[in-house]
Amino acid sequence: MKLFASLLIAAAVAAPVAAQTAKSAPKADLAKGEASYAMCAACHGADGNSAIPANPKLAGQHPEYLTKQLAEFKSGKRANAVMMGMASVLSDDDMRNVSAFMASKKPAPGVAREKDLVALGERIYRGGIADRQIPACAGCHSPNGAGIPAQYPRLSGQHAEYTAAQLTAFRDGVRQNNLQMTQVAAKLNDKEIKAVSDYIAGLR
């Protein structure tokens, strides 16, 4: 319960800051975003719906989240050799434009494939694991996986392989750009990560 309470407090603190940031940011240019996105299409799909399970779907993602990730790839706070190289050539305006362009695209639905694990994945996503103080994913990412703009990313329909890789990276300390997710993932085992990732892929 302490971890869940801390996450709620963090969300409450982040909300006014995110709102203020959104108000002060200049308006994005979708045409320029589309032009800049051309170098991303090979990995993430022309419309942001990646066909490669290792690469995330970006279509329909909250622009504030995408901008933050690009900035953190560029700074090295989020480590990924390929994305660090891509983001290094983007200005702040480029990042904002690309993110807005992706947000304007319709996300393609995914599907859960692990029938034996779907019940476990649903329990974790919707209810967490109380005896290990693991909060429900739905508390931050919403019951249908839509996330909360400027705070928590959209998850629904995301490739299970990508989600599992990110949860594992958070758990193992490889990805270090979100303390909340590090704390949550640290308590999940491989089976639980696989189950909740597959369930998320089928969320609508």
Q: What's residue 26's pLDDT?
A: 81
Instruction: List, as own/partner pairs, every contact residues 66-73 make where C-beta atoms lie below 8 angstroms and the sequence separation is at least 24, other chains included.
Output: 66/95, 66/98, 66/99, 66/102, 66/103, 67/95, 67/96, 67/99, 69/177, 70/95, 70/98, 70/99, 71/95, 72/177
Assess whether the region 2-7+109-201 and the region 25-103 belong to the same CATH fold.
yes
Report how far residue 100's alpha carbon sits from residue 94's, in angstroms, rounded to the nearest whole number.
10
First vs last C-alpha separation in the chain: 28
Q: Please list the pLDDT of the chain residue by residue as tens digits (204 residues).
A: 444 444 444 444 444 444 444 456 689 999 999 999 999 999 999 999 999 999 999 999 999 999 999 999 999 999 999 999 999 999 999 999 999 999 999 999 999 999 999 999 999 999 999 999 999 999 999 999 999 999 999 999 999 999 999 999 999 999 999 999 999 999 999 999 999 999 999 999
Report how far residue 129's alpha carbon sits from residue 42's, in angstroms, rounded to the nearest whole number.
38
Domain 25-103 has CATH 1.10.760.10: yes
Place of tokens 């309470």: 5
Element of type H or E holding 138: helix 138-141
Q: Rounded to two decimals, what is the model's pTM?
A: 0.86
Domain 2-7+109-201 has CATH 3.40.50.720: no
Residue spans of the domains in the chain: they are 2-7+109-201, 25-103
Q: What's residue 24's pLDDT?
A: 62
CA-nearest of 107, 113, 90 to 160 is: 113
